[in-house]
Amino acid sequence: MSFTTSHPDPGGFIQPSLSSPAPSTSTATPSILPRPRLHPLKAGSTKETTVINHVDKTILIINRRHAKKFSSAFDDQAQQESERGYESFKEVAKDIEGLVDILWVTGTPSLQIPYLISLAVYINTYLPEYPFSPKATFRLLKKLDSVFASLLTGEDADSGAPLPGFESRRNVVSMTEKVRIKSIAETCRVAVVEAREQVDGPDDEDEDDISDDDDDMDDVFSTDDYTAPGRWEMETARVYEKTIQLLGDELGKAGEFCDTNLAPGDACQAEPS
């Protein structure tokens, strides 16, 4: 079964578009997220099982490649890419972003929430172990910020379109999950700041790290606006901006009472009353 989000087959996760859509005068901001299904996957269905198996398998591959990071000089060059260790966080981000897109397209909160929380924790854990790759990092975090903000409100954080699975109720994300997401977001902000501080030289990607994806990343970040040195400083300040703002209003200062010994992304508990 194909998991591409750009050319979905009929009956896949994205409903085929009509041949002659009605003209729209809406000025809503286009979403940076792929278009989700109109309805969540049915619990226990073949499609849901296929998604779960694919996501679990890909997460296992990501973990294995991370464990073998920086080992290309010792690996058998005949190995498939999925069996080689990562050489940069850009590679990690690409694989994780693929899973984020797949989970988003399912339109199924019962799959999206737990898996996306887990992926966000992996990012916090892996990010400090690679040289900082600003474009790939901020692209992925910007997308996750939109994902979590959307799930918290029940509508696409960029376009305002209602989300599938939220028709009957808005508070699909539990309070425990909200506390954990807030902790993950705050931990990630610290990790990004520390990663940037360890960068030697210009605050940008290496010249050898340029790919065809850079044009898409420039579209996401409107990098024409960043003409001065240190153009990623503003993006650092915006890490999980929407998510933290939404949860800050609801949870207050719950994040201040985290145990400092918690692993990155672990949930903190509010101060007992």
Provide the pLDDT for residue 144.
97
Provide the pLDDT for residue 128.
95
Q: What is the pLDDT of residues 146-161, one digit of tens each?
A: 999 999 999 999 888 8
Place of tokens 């920086």: 70
Contact 157, 28 (CB under 8 A): no
Provide the pLDDT for residue 169.
72
Provide the pLDDT for residue 171.
77
Provide the pLDDT for residue 14.
41
Mean pLDDT of 203-224: 47
Provide the pLDDT for residue 32.
83
Q: What is the pLDDT of residues 242-261, one digit of tens each?
A: 999 999 877 764 444 454 44
Q: Where are the domains of the chain?
A: 46-200+233-255
Mean pLDDT of 169-194: 92
Mean pLDDT of 75-91: 82
Provide the pLDDT for residue 29.
54
Mean pLDDT of 196-213: 54
pLDDT of 104 over the 80 cut = yes
Which of 40-54, 162-176, 242-256 is modeled with the greatest confidence? Answer: 40-54
Sign of the Cα pseudo-torsion (258, 261, 262, 265, in order):
positive
Q: What is the pLDDT of residues 11-41, one digit of tens each?
A: 444 443 434 344 444 444 567 889 999 999 9
pLDDT of 95 over the 70 cut = yes
Mean pLDDT of 71-97: 83
| pLDDT band (50, 70, 90) for residue 167 | confident
- Torsion angle of C-alpha atoms 173, 165, 96, 67, degrees rounded to 10: 60
pLDDT of 229 over the 90 cut = no
d(CA 238, CA 163): 24
| Averaged pLDDT score across all residues of the chain | 78
* Residue whose C-alpha is closest to residue 99's, from 134, 140, 44: 140
| pLDDT band (50, 70, 90) for residue 71 | confident
Provide the pLDDT for residue 78.
66
